[in-house]
Structures are given as structure tokens and as C-alpha cells.
Amino acid sequence: LAPDDIEHDQLACVRDPRRLRHLKEVHRARVGDSMTLGIAGGSIGRGELLALDEHEARFALGAMDTLPPPPLPVHLVLALPRPRMLARSLEHATALGVKAITLLHSQRVEKSYWQSPELAPDKIQTHLVLGLEQARDTVMPTVSLAKGFRPFVEDRLPELLEARRGLLAHPEMAQACPRGLEEPVALLVGPEGGFIPFEVERLIEAGCEGIHLGPRILRVETAVTALLARLF
Ligand code: SAM
């Protein structure tokens, strides 16, 4: 549920056509069903579907609880992949509990990707919401764009690394991806063609540790998912 869907403590109305379709076609919801509902940015609990037609769904809300925070605070810095991979990476990272994402330019990012309609805020939000819904999470990640590699490394990365351990995922690194971390992390994942050697050097100089995931070279969205699962 979006905060705007809440009419008062005990009643919510969904009018967004995409979510109405999701309720009918994916959840096969019927009047009288009891469902788990999350309020974006807040709590989660049970609700009963009171009415459902093509314009709205009305829910009686029961007691709501807050979800525990994600297992590890991760700021994902993802070199902008092609739109289809971006969609999946955003969805999977969100489902796994990432709450901050920076989309980064690098040499091997196609310039045209920055013009993609998939970067429109509502498109990005659609993928984030799919991840949240999947994981029964309610807290929307923030997504920011870093369209210049150099300004990112000089201005934003030092600030990020003040409070986090920086991990640069790159196949040729000597150190294996650590498991079960407990400290905050900035995780950097390269584009389809990988970071170029100069970029790897700059990121390491800036304070990132290079890590690998073994000899298999994974697609961006697979690497994001595998890395996050390992770190947790
Ligand atoms: N040929 C590119 C290279 O060697 O860097 C492959 C890039 S891979 C398709 C895209 C990104 O996923 C990489 O830049 C890296 O961040 C991550 N990745 C994929 N497989 C990895 C592995 N085995 N170890 C570490 N990172 C990996």
C-alpha cells in the first residue's frame, strides 16, 4: 500500500491500476480474503478485502507491525547496465534489502543507456516496488544517478567510504568476497564489459577493496544477487 491509500487507521483503498491488476491476476484476490499488507515506508500487518472492482480495492486494516531492518546496510553502486538488466538488478537488490543505490557511469557503460525511459523515476519505482512486494518490505530504497565516473570517485565516494567498507567486485581480484559481514558496506559492481583497469586502480586508490566471486563471470544481475547473498 502507498501512504496515500490509507484512508484512516482501519481502512485502505487501492486505486492504482497496476496494483489492482496485481491483486486480481497474481494474488487472485476475492472479497473476504485476509492478506498480508505493507504500507510503504512503514508497517506490515493483516487486512481483509472488503470490496474489489475495476476501480478500487478496499481493505479493513488489522494491527500493523514494523518489519525488522535489512540484515546489513548496503549501498549498491552499480555501473548502469542495459535497461533489462537494470530492471532485474533493481528488483533483486531491493528484494534482498538494499536501501541505497547509486547508478554510476563508467567507460564501458553505453552512453545511450542514460537516455533510456527505464531511468524515469516512475519506471525505477516500479522495479523497486516489485522487489519490496516480493520480500514483504515496506521501505523504499533511494536511487541516485552519478553520470560522471571522476566526480563520483573524487566527491561522492570518499563520503560514502567514511561510514562504510568499500567492496569492488571485479573478477581479477585476489580476495574472495567476504561472507556474513556485520558492518555497513558500499558494494561496487561493474558494467557488462567490466570496469577498465584505470577505473579499478582509481577505485582501489580511493579506498575500495577488490573482491572476486570465483572464476565464473556472472551477468550483472546475477553478480548483484550472488554478492549480496554472500555478504549477508
Ligand atoms: N569481462 C568483464 C570483466 O572481466 O570485468 C565481465 C563483467 S561482468 C559481466 C559484470 C560485473 O559483474 C563485473 O564488473 C563485476 O562487478 C561483477 N562480476 C561478475 N562476475 C564476477 C566475479 N566472478 N567476481 C567478481 N565480480 C564479478
Give residue-wise pLDDT tens across range 101-157. 999 999 999 999 999 999 999 999 999 989 988 888 888 899 999 999 999 999 999
Domain extent at residue 20: 3-66
Which pLDDT score is estimated for 223?
98
Number of domains in the chain: 2
Tens-place pLDDT, residues 38-60: 887 778 888 999 999 999 999 99
Cell of 173: 581480484
Based on the domain organization, do 57 and 108 belong to the same domain?
Answer: no
Based on the domain organization, do 50 and 152 belong to the same domain?
Answer: no
Tell me which of 48, 66, 84 is where a domain ends. 66
Based on the domain organization, do 54 and 21 belong to the same domain?
Answer: yes
Based on the domain organization, do 199 and 87 belong to the same domain?
Answer: yes
Q: pLDDT above 70 covers what percent of the chain? A: 100
Based on the domain organization, do 44 and 144 belong to the same domain?
Answer: no
Which pLDDT score is estimated for 135?
85
The predicted model gives 196-223 an average pLDDT of 97
Residue nearest to atom 6 of ligand 1 (CA): 194
Strand ranges, E, within the chain: 6-8, 11-14, 34-38, 43-52, 57-66, 74-79, 100-104, 142-146, 165-169, 185-189, 209-211
Q: What is the CATH number of the domain that holds 139?
A: 3.40.1280.10
Return d(Cα 136, Cα 42) in angstroms, integer: 11
Q: What is the CATH number of the domain that holds 35?
A: 2.40.240.20
Residue 72 to residues 2, 97, 229: CA-CA distances in angstroms?
A: 25, 8, 11
Residue 210 CA to ligand 1 center (angstroms) comes to 11
Based on the domain organization, do 15 and 95 belong to the same domain?
Answer: no
Which residues 6+ apart lie within 8 Å of 173 measured at CB? 210, 211, 212
Based on the domain organization, do 89 and 202 belong to the same domain?
Answer: yes
Return d(Cα 123, Cα 113) in angstroms, integer: 14
SS3 20: helix
Based on the domain organization, do 82 and 192 belong to the same domain?
Answer: yes
pTM here? 0.83
Residue 9 CA to ligand 1 center (angstroms) comes to 47
Return d(Cα 174, Cα 32) in angstroms, integer: 57
Residue 190 CA to ligand 1 center (angstroms) comes to 6
Return d(Cα 61, Cα 124) in angstroms, integer: 28
Tell me which of 46, 66, 86 is where a domain ends. 66
Ligand 1 site, residue 195, Cβ cutoff 6 A = yes
Residue nearest to atom 11 of ligand 1 (CA): 190
Based on the domain organization, do 140 and 157 belong to the same domain?
Answer: yes
Return d(Cα 26, Cα 35) in angstroms, integer: 13
Tell me which of 66, 84, 113 is where a domain ends. 66
Cα angle 113, 118, 124 (rounded to 5 degrees) comes to 125
- DSSP-derived secondary structure for 191-232: -TT---HHHHHHHHHTTPEEEB--SPPPPHHHHHHHHHHHH-
Based on the domain organization, do 119 and 209 belong to the same domain?
Answer: yes
Give me the torsion for CA of 204, 208, 212, 218, rounded to 10°.
Answer: -100
Based on the domain organization, do 129 and 45 belong to the same domain?
Answer: no
Based on the domain organization, do 54 and 161 belong to the same domain?
Answer: no
Supply the ipTM of this predicted assembly. Answer: 0.98
